[in-house]
């Protein structure tokens, strides 16, 4: 009986996170309340507070879960043993997959609301982007050393530019509901890092982060 209750509790918490994540990716963190989640799941607000005492707790859990999935997707890219240009294409495709579902990057949405977020959420958002920068910097460094990528300046600065451009491309594609706008922008961005002889056509398929 106890095990069954624990299973049900975990299932409810996961469903709360699923609904909250969708709301953040569409409306932003400040664009929904516990009442919205309770209405969607047909549960009481008291049940929500049982799992996540305050909204800040829910927010941190959302970021941690999203970051875990995203980093796991990057690990799959690493495990596929593809060359650095294909890794960059796979990275961009993670964003495209989210956009195809008419959503935005969770942490990109939260970054837009950064000043209004609780400190714990702010730290988690920064940590997410830091991890992405580190992964991209490693890919860029390997590519430059192996001759399959070219760029000026530090690999960390180049990694930061890629993230900035992809987040911006998502934002600009959103009003049109047109993923092809994002894909065109991403392809143009990555082509600038890739010598003609090593360019990878299109955006590579990759595991979905969210």
Print the domain residue range for 131. 55-198
Domain membership flag for residue 119: yes
Provide the CATH number for the domain around residue 136.
1.10.357.10
Helix (H, G, I), strand (E, B) or coil at 209: coil
Does residue 12 sit within a domain? no
Q: Looking at the 3D structure of the chain, how many domains does it have? A: 1
Per-residue pLDDT tens digits for 89-105: 999 999 999 999 999 99
The answer to whether position 163 is within a domain reads yes
Note the pLDDT tens digit of each residue in 40-87.
Answer: 999 999 999 999 999 999 999 999 999 999 999 999 999 998 999 999
Q: Does a structural domain hold residue 97?
A: yes
Residues 6+ apart with CB under 8 A from 113: 28, 29, 30
Q: Decide if 154 is inside a domain.
A: yes
Provide the whole-model pTM. 0.86
Residue 83 lies in a domain: yes
């Amino acid at each position: 009986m106890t095990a069954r209750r624990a299973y049900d509790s975990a299932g409810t918490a996961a469903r709360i996170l699923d609904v909250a994540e969708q709301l953040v990716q569409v409306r932003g963190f400040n664009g929904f309340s516990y009442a919205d989640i309770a209405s969607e799941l047909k549960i009481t607000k008291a049940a929500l507070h049982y799992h996540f005492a305050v909204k800040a707790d829910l927010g941190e859990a959302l970021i941690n879960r999203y970051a875990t999935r995203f980093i796991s997707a990057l690990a799959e890219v690493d495990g596929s043993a593809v060359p650095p240009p294909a890794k960059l294409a796979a990275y961009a495709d993670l964003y495209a997959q989210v956009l195809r579902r008419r959503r935005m990057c969770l942490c990109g949405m939260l970054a837009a609301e950064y000043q209004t977020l609780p400190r714990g959420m702010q730290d988690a958002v920064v940590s997410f982007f830091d991890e992405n920068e580190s992964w991209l910097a490693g890919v860029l460094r390997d590519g430059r050393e192996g001759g399959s990528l070219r760029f000026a300046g530090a690999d960390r600065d180049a990694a930061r530019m890629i993230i900035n451009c992809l987040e911006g491309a998502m934002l600009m594609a959103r009003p049109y509901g047109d993923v092809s706008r994002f894909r065109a922008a991403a392809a143009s961005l990555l082509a600038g890092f890739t010598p003609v002889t090593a360019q990878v056509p299109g955006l590579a398929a990759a595991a979905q982060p969210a």
